[in-house]
Chain A
Amino acid sequence: EPEVTQTPSHQVTQMGQEVILRCVPISNHLYFYWYRQILGQKVEFLVSFYNNEISEKSEIFDDQFSVERPDGSNFTLKIRSTKLEDSAMYFCASSEVGTSGPSNEQFFGPGTRLTVL
């Protein structure tokens, strides 16, 4: 069964460093998303991406964050200067094209645990 994959599974970094989290969405999906979940808290939307541009972003997704689809399979989230409060699980998700816009069902990858020291 096709699935979303993410690398690395765990990333440890120093405050102020840049990190890149990688995702390979399900192959026939064209809508991509990043969510994060701080330990003990709810899953929060960060950004959605379609046709090589951001469709929507949340207040969390400030200038320190960026997303890119560098090739035909990868989807990345970059955090330019990490803060302690960026420590969280970051989930990539994807959905296929629906009748008008994205299909409603989003499928999540296993996540990257980011620890900022």
Chain B
Amino acid sequence: QKEVEQNSGPLSVPEGAIASLNCTYSDRVSQSFFWYRQYSGKSPELIMSIYSNGDKEDGRFTAQLNKASQYVSLLIRDSQPSDSATYLCAVNKLSGGSNYKLTFGKGTLLTVNP
């Protein structure tokens, strides 16, 4: 079983719509969850972090975490063409005493059409 799974996409939404990105993880001990945005050829840029169950909102972005289901999602409201990028889900694993490394999913490619 893959540690962090995401649909590779592409996910295509019209400008102004809500984009919904999903991620599941296999290690129940995982404590911290992150969404990074990566434009083609660029580095990951941290956009959201979430640590407890429920929703966390920051501007047009809302992260949702459900530890019982081992599921984390990212909603982007009022999607803009500039949101077109690959969105990486990352998990900080605490199992085995490791609280340093991030484990990434392969990412979901989002395309926002004008």
Contact of B107 among A31, A42, A106, A111 (CB under 8 A): A42
List of A residues within 8 angstroms of B45 by Cβ: 108
Partner of B44 from A55, A91, A101 at Cβ < 8 Å = A91
- Interface magnitude class on chain A: 20 to 34
A105 touching B34 by the CB < 8 A rule? yes
Q: Is the CB of B101 within 8 A of A48?
A: yes
A91 to B90, CA, bound (A): 15
Q: How far is the CB of B11 from chain A (nearest CB, A)?
A: 17
- Known contacts: A41-B106, A43-B44, A109-B43. The answer to whether A102 contacts B88 by CB under 8 A is no
Interchain CA distance A55-B99 in the complex, whole Å: 10
1/0 contact string of B52-72 vs chain A (CB within 8 Å): 000000000000000000000
A28 to chain B, nearest CB (A): 17
Task: Render B80-114 as a binary contact track against A, CB cut-off 8 A, 1 for contact.
Answer: 00000000101010000011111111110000000
- For residue A65, CB closer than 8 A to chain B, the reply is no
With CB as the reference atom, state the residue of chain B lying closest to A6: B43
| Inter-chain contacts of B105 with A (CB < 8 A) | 42
Question: Which A residues are within 8 Å of any B CB, using their own CB?
Answer: 31, 33, 35, 41-45, 48, 55-56, 58, 89, 91, 101-102, 104-111
Which residues of chain B have a CB within 8 Å of any CB of chain A?
A: 31-32, 34, 36, 42-46, 49, 51, 88, 90, 92, 98-107
Given A58-B101, A110-B43, 7 further pairs, Cβ under 8 A: A42-B104, A43-B44, A45-B102, A45-B103, A101-B100, A108-B43, A108-B45
Q: List 12 A-B contacts (CB under 8 A).
A: A42-B107, A43-B88, A43-B104, A44-B104, A56-B100, A104-B92, A105-B34, A105-B49, A106-B46, A108-B45, A108-B46, A110-B42
